[in-house]
Amino acid sequence: MTTTTTTSPPPASASSAGSPRRFLSLDNRYLAPVLITGILFAGQLSFGILESYPRTLLAIGASVLAELILGRLMLGKWPHLASAYITGISVGILVRSPAYWPYVMCSLISITSKYAIRWRGRHIWNPSNLGISAMLFLAPASVASLSIQWGNNIWPMLVIWLLGAAIISRLRRFHICATYVASFLAFSGVRSLVTGAPFLAAVAPITGPMYQLFIFFMITDPKTTVRSKRGQAVTVFFVALVEALLRLNQVVNAPFYALFLVGPIPFIYELWRDGRPKTANRPETVQAPTLAPSEQPA
């Protein structure tokens, strides 16, 4: 659930410089941290969603510390911490365990993966997706993912969706969310037909808060998604497809595993393609504005 970029946010237009609007217009790099912090506080204050404040702070602290140390070692300079903050806060919300150590371990694994698993100078897995998948797969006796919170109520979800949609639209990535949701709903129908379970039961998971975080923060991660809009849409369609297949096999943590399995494939392909000698008629792709500041090693 980290978010990274290699580009700067779009500069404010000359006409808006110095105007009140400028002060209301938040730098894109801070949108995701602000959104996820808002979600955290809204959820905690209204429903007490966290296992505990210390666990979440532990996750954030471990994430930030790991980022500082590894970034300094690898880059030779202090990295921007917005990405690590998002990773930590995501771990703090999504990991469910009565113990403390899973929060530390998940953050450390997430951040370390960015620096350990690299190809052509880029990390290829969404760090918190990898971290949480590793926790769920390797430590099932100690860890579960967030599956039930927010009072199972529709209103917090709608608020998150409205806020998230507004922000994600500004970042020109809403098509990723929309494609995934549409695919999930379609595959829910298929699963319902195959298993005989009520359609609403098949749809139920996406109405929970875990999916809001998954949709807004994981699958849209600009640093581990391909550049073209079509490529992004196709990728999340396949994420939803693999998730549906996993669900048909009764895999409880299907979305995390699906993104873990599918996410890197098109991204690696793109990196491979970019590494080839360019032909004269190959068009340049354009990097979309992104959610968070770069923590990308040079």
Partner 1 sequence: MRQYTQAVIIILFIGMLVMLRVLNNASVSGASGTGSRAGDALAGDDRRAAERNVARYGLHLEEVSKAAGVDFVHQAPRLDSKLDHIMPQIASMGASVSVADFDRDGWLDFYVTNSGEGSRNRLYRNLGDGTFEDVAESLGVADLNVPGTGVCMGSIWGDYDNDGYEDLLVYKWGKTELFRNDEGKGFTRVTDSVGLPDWINVGSATWVDYDRDGFIDLFLGCYWADGLDLWNLKSTKMMPESFEYARNGGQNYLFRNQGDGTFEDVSESAGIGSTRWALAVAAADLRGTGYPDLFIANDYGVSELFANQGGKSFREIGRSAGVGASPKSGMNVAFGDIFNQGRFSVYVTNISEEGVLIQGNNLWVPREGTAGDGLRYDNMARSMGVELGGWSFGAQFGDLNNDGNQDLILTNGYVSAKRGTSYWYEFSMVAGGNSAIISDARNWPPMHGKSLSGHQQKKVWLNDGAGHFSEVSQAVGYTDVSDGRAIALADLWNRGVLDVLAANQGGPLLIYKNTVPDDRAWIGFELTGTKSNRSAIGAEVRLFFNGVEQLQEVSGAAGYSAQNQRRLHFGLGENPSVEKAVIRWPSGTVQTLEAPAVGQVHLIEEPQ
Token readout for 221 is: 């991660």
Q: By CB under 8 A, tell whether 152 contacts partner 1.
A: yes
Q: Which is nearer to partner 1, 163 or 251 (CB)?
A: 251
- Please say which residue, 156 or 266, places its beta carbon nearer to partner 1: 156
* Stretch touching partner 1 by CB under 8 A, among 135-143, 219-227, 274-282, 283-291: 135-143
Cβ–Cβ < 8 Å for 66, 112: yes
What x-and-dash track marks residues 33-72 binding partner 1 by CB under 8 A? --------------xx--xx-----------------x--
Q: Which stretch binds partner 1 (CB under 8 A): 85-93, 216-224, 235-243, 247-255?
A: 247-255
Interface with partner 1, residue 88, by CB under 8 A: no
Residue 37 makes CB contacts below 8 A (sequence gap 6+) with 89
Binding-site member from 1, 108, 233, 262 for partner 1 (CB under 8 A): 108
Helices and strands in the chain, H and E counts: 13, 4
Give the residue with the Cβ less far from partner 1, 17 or 162.
Answer: 162
Which of 16, 195, 285, 287 is the binder for partner 1 (CB under 8 A)?
A: 195
- Our measurement of the distance from residue 80's CA atom to the centroid of its chain's CA atoms, rounded to an integer in Å, reads 17
Which amino acid appears at position 238 of this protein? F
Sequence-distant contacts of 191-199: CB under 8 A, at least 24 apart = 191/244, 191/247, 191/248, 194/248, 195/248
Neighbours of 219 (CB within 10 A): 27
What tokens does 162 get? 């409205």
- Give the binding-site size for partner 1 (rule: CB under 8 A): 57
Q: Which is nearer to partner 1, 268 or 288 (CB)?
A: 268
- Which residues make beta-bridge pairs with 119? 122
Our CB check for partner 1 shows the closer of 25 and 52 to be 52
- Written as one string, the DSSP assignment of 224-235 is GS-SSHHHHHHH
Q: What gap in Å lies between CA 244 and CA 229, rounded to an integer?
A: 23
Q: Are 110 and 150 in contact (CB under 8 A)?
A: no
Residues forming contacts to partner 1 in the complex (CB under 8 A) are 47-48, 51-52, 70, 73-74, 96-99, 101, 105, 108-109, 112-113, 115-118, 134-136, 138-144, 147-149, 151-154, 157, 195-198, 200-205, 207-208, 210, 247, 250-253
